[in-house]
Amino acid sequence: MGAQSNGAALTETRGDPAAAGTHLFVGVDIGRFYHLVAAIPQERMENGSWERAVARRFATSADGFEELVAWLHSFDVSVDDIRVGLEPTGGLYSRTVVAWLVRHGFQVDWLQNWAVHDRRHLLIGKQAKSDALDARLIARLLYERECLGLVGGFLHRTPMAAEGLRMLVRNRFKLLSLHTRHRLQLAALEDVLFPEFKEVFRGSQTKLAARRVLEHFPTPADLAVAPREDIREVIYRQAKAMRLVEAADRLQTLAARSAGLVEGIEEIVRTQRHVLRELNVLDEELRIADAAIAEALESWPPRQRAILDSLPGMSVQRQAVLLSAIGDLGTFRTDRELRKLLGWYPETLESGSSVSKHRLGLSGNRLARRELWLWSMSIVAPRFPANPFKDYYARLRARNLAGHVAIGHVAGKLISVLFYCMRNGEPYDPVRHARDLGFG
């Protein structure tokens, strides 16, 4: 971020100190290392010179915030007549400056993200934005609401802090990715040491029951000579895999005649032991992460969670991913804007002067996009209970749409339904939805 000093009038940050007015309008553009602030008196708003108002940097520290407060007081305007505005962006960075200003008696208003975007586009078109310009535009919108009576563009409540939940969701995803990588490594090791192992553990040779067996009996040779009761004890008592207890005999038979490597396997066995330990650690870390996410969700409005719960295929983790990405639904005017944020929108690919095809856009929240795909796949699966989305998918497939294209349409439909349910504060109604889709 930084101020533009050589651009057009709207993007300049240099000018004469502002004269005092009846009100002072303050726009804050949020950043990690510093915030850019434009403080514009009412007089400059009315004579048009607000476009050249100074935008100053203030460090995101106690010294910087003290300097900001002192600067605002230097305008000789009562605190009651100072209006401060900012967008609900910048992660957690905005929370410290807002708390500081509120403690010092300032009124802070939150603007919709689209309000500043629309005003910027109206003034300078598609030219590159600047942080100084955004700070001035935020101040201008505050003036228009206060003095011109214009409405719209402001949040009616403090935006929910989604950044903490977002960090928990991202960290869990990283843990899950690492867990998957270790499981793949373990499977590769077993294909060398004990290739027949997967014949008994058909579901997965890396789940808890299989791993407990490997921890006690690292090689087929160890299994082959182990007392049968010891194997049963591990499967039954430690792995809690009662249905596999009877497979102990077959497992030992396979071990006795395994085609796995026998010589020079010390490093492989050592690596296997390390991977098993890492998986145990990751299991515990994932359990802690799940508990932290569940606790964080408890602070979310119960009504919103109830609406999400009413949708088919919803889970706690899915709620967390969606809510952490969406944040405050009030920042979106339409479901199209929500689709853009969630990374689910069409993007036109052009070849020369002719349009060739469309693809899924590349921007948006990556985790939310992945979750939407998994969600759509799950609710149209053959074993999933009947629901309007499943019928919609079947209708699209009957029209000869490719499977992945039909899934894309289902995901888009999910976003639209989620948006309108949450905006209207109403749980999902499958009967009404089926009727709207023409199935009722």
For 311-366, how does the pLDDT look when each residue is reduced to its tens digit (9 = 90+)?
Answer: 999 999 999 999 988 887 877 888 988 888 888 876 555 545 444 455 666 667 88
Q: What is the pLDDT of residue 7?
A: 35
Per domain, the residue ranges of the chain are 9-147, 165-294, 302-436
Query: Which of 74-88, 116-130, 263-277 ranks highest by mean pLDDT?
Result: 263-277
CB 84 within 8 A of CB 26: yes
- Percent of the chain past pLDDT 70, that is, above it, reads 85
Q: 23 near 82, Cβ under 8 Å?
A: yes
CA 316, 322, 328, 334 torsion: positive or negative? Answer: negative
CB atoms within 10 A of CB 372: 28
What's the rounded Cα separation, in Å, for the pair 58 and 72? Answer: 12
| Stronger pLDDT, 204 or 379, i.e. the higher one | 379
Q: What is the pTM of this model?
A: 0.75
Distance CA(56)–CA(64), nearest Å, equals 11
Q: What is the tens place of the pLDDT at every residue in 62-92? A: 999 999 999 999 998 999 999 999 987 756 7
| pLDDT category of residue 128 using cuts at 50, 70 and 90 | low
Strand partners, 56: 37
- pLDDT cut 90: percent of the chain above it: 59
Give, in order, the Cα–Cα distances in Å from 378 to each of 261, 318, 344, 373, 385: 40, 12, 17, 9, 10
Give the separation between CA 255 and CA 225, rounded to whole angstroms.
9
CA–CA separation, 197 vs 204, rounded Å? 10
User: Quick one: pLDDT at residue 5?
Assistant: 35
| Residue 18 reports pLDDT greater than 60 | no
The whole-number pLDDT of residue 266 equals 95
Nearest partner of 118 among 327, 358, 334, judged by Cα: 334
Region 389-397: mean pLDDT is: 96
> Is the model's pLDDT at 169 over the cut of 90?
yes
Question: 9-147 belongs to which homologous superfamily?
Answer: ATPase, nucleotide binding domain (3.30.420.40)
Average pLDDT over residues 94-115: 89
Question: What is the pLDDT averaged over residues 177-189?
Answer: 96
What would the CATH number be for the domain defined by 165-294? 1.10.287
pLDDT score for 201: 82
The 3 state secondary structure assigned to the chain is: CCCCCCCCHHHCCCCCCCCCCCCEEEEEECCCCEEEEEEEEHHHHHHCHHHHCCEEEEECCHHHHHHHHHHHHCCCCCHHHEEEEECCCCCCHHHHHHHHHHHCCCEEEEECHHHHHHHHHHHHCCCCCCHHHHHHHHHHHHHHHHHCCCCCCECCCCCCCCHHHHHHHHHHHHHHHHHHHHHHHHHHHHHHHCCCHHHHCCCCCCCHHHHHHHHHCCCHHHHHHCCHHHHHHHHHHHCCCHHHHHHHHHHHHHHHCCCCCCCCCHHHHHHHHHHHHHHHHHHHHHHHHHHHHHHHHCCCCHHHHHHHHCCCCCCHHHHHHHHHHHCCHHHCCCHHHHHHHCCCCEEEEEECCEEEEEEECCCCCHHHHHHHHHHHHHHCCCCCCCCHHHHHHHHHHHCCCCHHHHHHHHHHHHHHHHHHHHHHCCCCCHHHHHHHCCCC
pLDDT at 362: 62
Q: Exposed, middle or buried, 202 (CB in 10 Å: 0-12/13-18/19+)? A: exposed
Q: Distance between CA atoms of 48 and 130, rounded to whole angstroms?
A: 19
For residue 16, the model assigns a pLDDT of: 40
